[in-house]
Structure 1
Amino acid sequence: MKKYLKYIALATFGAIVLSCDNYVDIKTEGRLIPEETENYRYLLQNSYQFDLTYGAVDVASDDISFQNGTQTTELAASDYYRPFVNLYKWADQIYFDGEVDYNMNGMYSALYNSNIVINEVMQSKKGTEAEKLAIKGEAQVHRAYIFLTLVNTFGKAYDPATASTDLGIVLFTTPTVSDDIRRTSVQNAYDIILSDLNDAVNSGLKPINSGTNVAFPSRASAYALLARTYLYMRNYPMALENAEKALAIQSTLNNYEDYEFNAFPTRRFDKELILSKWNGYTSLSYAPQILSLSNELISSFDTNDLRYVLLTQPTSSFNSNYTIGRTYAKEGLTGESRNGGPTVAEMMLIKAECLARAGSGNLAIAEINKLRQKRFRASQYVALTATDSKDALIKVLAERRRELMGQGGFRWFDLKRLNKEPEFAKTITHAFAGQTFTLAPNSDRYQMPYAPIYYDYAPNLQQNP
């Protein structure tokens, strides 16, 4: 067990909450016998640990704007919000020297258990091969999600010309005792992600998981994450193929008009949610203080759009000091944190974007209109039209921004991939406390810096410039 203890320390650079004793207890407590298949199912039952995403990057995007002088004064003085303010300013250092990155720690903690399952379950006892394969498939979906999220947070946007040399992330795939913690390439990360997900779709996962099981991977979620992965790789034909496979399994949308005077669905009742991945490092108060939406984003909405009506609120609704603009406020409706997992709506947006890029603008707009019909009152819905496929692509990307605003890092990751295309490359400006900060397309600041504390445990970890 010393190997596991050392691995845990290395895997999260010395700051993880798991312990070797916890692993022993899971494998021996009560009637459980070490090395039985059932143990690995129990290891994956801790959905709270796996049901996490890296939500901090949302504040770095052009969706967010701190507009009020009183607001910026309070934010600047707050220790709790300081990392988010540093992200908003694209600072060289986000955390103080002694602070850990809780978003990253949580994901590497989940990676540890994923790797145990992936590496051990097929050799376990008292389980059928089908049971073992499905358990492994679940762990592979979790690992793929972790690597995809982290490589897009800390690594460069995928570029086939440079991915094999671009710095990615630390890729732990087995319990290891190596002290030499180094980042591998972006290509290495994507190779593992694609391998894991392609294995998972053939592993015997349930087609759909919903209700109390929505945090457990399904076959639809594996296809959905393949679609997202290929989108970030800008491999649009493969993104389209996998989005359609996900939608062939799960395609129900919520009708927002149903929730105008009724409770908005939580994750258990969200028919669109394919796999829950919530941002656990936030409280309910996170949204009004930090997710103050930019005028550019807000002005893109039709004010009859129920996403505008229900999911955004005036900042003054939450705190008298926040008197300018609107904030992303879904957390106030559900009492839950924001979701970064795949949804039916995301798959429809991927499908539409890929169709537009393939020259099928009419089909792309038709797909977007199916989504928009569920986002307006029936009496106020007006279908979008496009003059050609290029116009359709522009409108699809605008719809994607509105639908996925303020959650899961979607806009930040989109900015990174779209900066690779000159027609969509964008310079972002953030103002804060009398200063103006500018982020150029493909800037090194699109790669988040590692917290300094990790160099106490990993001196060879390469920092982003």
Structure 2
Amino acid sequence: MNKIKILVFSLLLLSMGACRKYVEIPPSQVRALKSTNDYQLLLNAGSTIEPGYYYPLFAADDFGVDDAGWYGKFTISAAINTYTWADKIYGSTEEDTDWASFYKQIFTFNTVVTGVMGSADGTDDQKKAIQAAALVHRAYAYFTLVNIYGKQYDSATSTTDPGVPLLLEPNLYADLTRASVQKVYDQVKADLLAALPYLPDSPTYNVNPSKMAVYALLARVCLNTREFTQAESYANQALTIKSTLLDLNNYVTTTTTLPLKLANPEVMFFKRTIQNPTNIPLQPTAVGLYDPKDLRYVIFTQDGSKITGSSFTIGRGLYTQRLITDGVYIGPGVPEMMLIKAECEARAGNTANALLAVNTLRKKRFKPAEYTDLTAADPNAALHVVIDERQREFMGRGYRWFDQRRLTKDNGFIGTVTHLFKGVTYTLAPGDNHYVFPIADKYIAQNPEITQNPR
């Protein structure tokens, strides 16, 4: 049998016995894809399509606490290795949860993209809408992958910087040579723009792609490529469709009524971490960014000693995942689009407009009698205000890791980061090779065309 790419299609191979004949002949007890609805059902599997990343949470400078008790309970080797920015995260035979999950998804999305137009029934419009939805999911997967395993986008080097294997068909024998960062970004943009005409403005359920989701993802993409005019334009288009914010004043004493994913008015495209961690300790420097009257501090963080089953008793931790059981939300939403708009305005020199966007968001995060607008003397100060607000709004979700990567392109925003663990201080300097995750040895051993990231 030819070499099987087990890193990409592990679930498929497990379910089908890892035998080539099952790629060619529908096996017993397995339903072949025939009808248009069969392809739609693939995209309805929430446990498959909703998960995003997980381990960037541990690498970010807002995660962790200096607590001997926590050290003893923080025992998952991959999480420890990520937290300490080790040369290797996984052992020689271990799966990389993030990589494997995304490529499993991509196999599903490629199956839909390449197969749905030839399905037995359904209208042409239905088929195009299903295909478009798969393209959006695929774009999200590749954008996230390239920002975990590839270097931060840099227009000067992106055509030669290794990205990730770019698979566009459900082919078990595809070459897994890493495409360049630029090629992956080009494909992400192409998928999103190709999907746009065939999607509704808003989804029936926010787990499904829509024009709003496309605009929001394009805003993320263009922020990373430093195309700030385009990023703001896409953020504005997303906000034109949805601009509702949660007023946290309504949940200070009634946190049990916080809306879940389908009812959350801020969610534009639901994605969550692969796992829902029970404990997310927060670095004191990150917690220190909050005004104690900030309702995000009051509602969404808690002293470790007061969190039932907490693995730490010193410091403060994220409490959101204890209040909302949908998982840690990492998809685009209204607050993110507002802050992208604010950042782009600050970078364009428009201090007042940047602060207007930030303060519009913040007014929903404080009691009216305790709120005061933030101010800034100039655009650079306004940009610092925006970045600090991103930290407060997205604390403990892994967003900060991706911001650390991209903000190394700006002077004065990201310094050397330190994490303490069991008496050892680990440091990560701006531009360090460890800002790019290593690829698991298992995958390179199975597929030698995949090159490792420098350490």
TM-score interval (norm. to shorter): over 0.9
SS of structure 1 residue aligned to 2:165? coil
Give the unaligned 5+ runs of structure 1: none
Which residue number corresponds to residue 226 of structure 1?
Answer: 218
CA distance in 2 between counterparts of 1:245 and 1:365 reads: 20
CA distance in 1 between counterparts of 2:85 and 2:384 reads: 27
Q: Would you say 1:368 and 2:353 are equivalent positions?
A: no
Superposed displacement of residue 26, structure 1: 12
- After TM superposition, list the pairs within 5 Å mapping 1:165-244 onto structure 2: 165-178=160-173, 180-203=175-198, 205-209=199-203, 213-244=205-236
Asked whether the equivalents of residues 160 and 180 of structure 2 are also in contact (C-alpha less than 8 Å), the reply is yes
Which residue number corresponds to residue 378 of structure 1?
Answer: 368
Query: Which one of the candidate residues 128, 131, 152 is aligned to 2:126?
Result: 131
- After TM superposition, list the pairs within 5 Å mapping 1:255-274 onto structure 2: 255-262=247-254, 263=256, 264-274=258-268
Which residue number corresponds to residue 19 of structure 2?
Answer: none
- CA 1:310–1:16: 2 relative to 1, 3 Å: farther
Query: Which one of the candidate residues 5, 8, 17 is aligned to 1:11?
Result: 8
CA distance in 2 between counterparts of 1:308 and 1:273 reads: 20
CA distance in 2 between counterparts of 1:297 and 1:395 reads: 14
- CA 1:174–1:345: 2 relative to 1, 3 Å: same
Asked whether the equivalents of residues 26 and 43 of structure 1 are also in contact (C-alpha less than 8 Å), the reply is no
Asked whether the equivalents of residues 296 and 393 of structure 2 are also in contact (C-alpha less than 8 Å), the reply is yes
- CA 1:365–1:208: 2 relative to 1, 3 Å: same
TM-score by length of 1: 0.91
CA distance in 1 between counterparts of 2:142 and 2:38 reads: 24
Which residue number corresponds to residue 329 of structure 1?
Answer: 319
Q: Would you say 1:439 and 2:428 are equivalent positions?
A: yes
- CA 1:423–1:38: 2 relative to 1, 3 Å: same
- Name the amino acid aligned to 2:46: S
SS of structure 2 residue aligned to 1:430? strand
Superposed displacement of residue 331, structure 1: 0.6
Identity among equivalent pairs (%): 37
Asked whether the equivalents of residues 343 and 386 of structure 2 are also in contact (C-alpha less than 8 Å), the reply is yes
Superposed displacement of residue 179, structure 1: 5.7
Asked whether the equivalents of residues 349 and 400 of structure 1 are also in contact (C-alpha less than 8 Å), the reply is yes
More deviation, 36-45/411-420: 36-45
CA distance in 1 between counterparts of 2:278 and 2:226 reads: 31
CA distance in 2 between counterparts of 1:179 and 1:242 reads: 34
Asked whether the equivalents of residues 65 and 284 of structure 2 are also in contact (C-alpha less than 8 Å), the reply is no
CA distance in 1 between counterparts of 2:215 and 2:166 reads: 22
CA distance in 2 between counterparts of 1:26 and 1:352 reads: 55
Asked whether the equivalents of residues 15 and 105 of structure 1 are also in contact (C-alpha less than 8 Å), the reply is no
Q: Would you say 1:425 and 2:414 are equivalent positions?
A: yes
Which residue number corresponds to residue 71 of structure 1?
Answer: 70
Superposed displacement of residue 169, structure 1: 0.7
SS of structure 1 residue aligned to 2:427? strand
Superposed displacement of residue 123, structure 1: 2.7
CA distance in 1 between counterparts of 2:188 and 2:174 reads: 24
- CA 1:419–1:34: 2 relative to 1, 3 Å: closer
CA distance in 1 between counterparts of 2:414 and 2:282 reads: 21
More deviation, 380-389/146-155: 380-389
- Name the amino acid aligned to 2:392: R
CA distance in 2 between counterparts of 1:44 and 1:268 reads: 16
Q: What are the superposed Cα offsets for residues 234-265 of structure 1, whole Å, 9 maximum, x if unpaired?
A: 11011001000000111111111111122222
SS of structure 2 residue aligned to 1:351? helix
CA distance in 1 between counterparts of 2:82 and 2:356 reads: 37
Q: What are the superposed Cα offsets for residues 189-209 of structure 1, whole Å, 9 maximum, x if unpaired?
A: 100000011112212x12222
Superposed displacement of residue 373, structure 1: 0.8
Q: What are the superposed Cα offsets for residues 20-70 of structure 1, whole Å, 9 maximum, x if unpaired?
A: 4799589984xxx85332221122111220101112111111111331122
Which residue number corresponds to residue 288 of structure 2?
Answer: 299
Give the unaligned 5+ runs of structure 2: 17-21
Superposed displacement of residue 128, structure 1: 2.0
Which residue number corresponds to residue 103 of structure 1?
Answer: 98
- Name the amino acid aligned to 1:300: L
CA distance in 2 between counterparts of 1:66 and 1:197 reads: 39
CA distance in 2 between counterparts of 1:74 and 1:10 reads: 30
- CA 1:215–1:165: 2 relative to 1, 3 Å: same
CA distance in 1 between counterparts of 2:220 and 2:197 reads: 18
RMSD: 2.3
Which residue number corresponds to residue 115 of structure 1?
Answer: 110
Q: What are the superposed Cα offsets for residues 251-282 of structure 1, whole Å, 9 maximum, x if unpaired?
A: 11111111112222221221101111111234
Which residue number corresponds to residue 79 of structure 2?
Answer: 84
- CA 1:197–1:321: 2 relative to 1, 3 Å: closer
CA distance in 1 between counterparts of 2:29 and 2:191 reads: 25
Which residue number corresponds to residue 356 of structure 1?
Answer: 346
CA distance in 2 between counterparts of 1:138 and 1:18 reads: 26
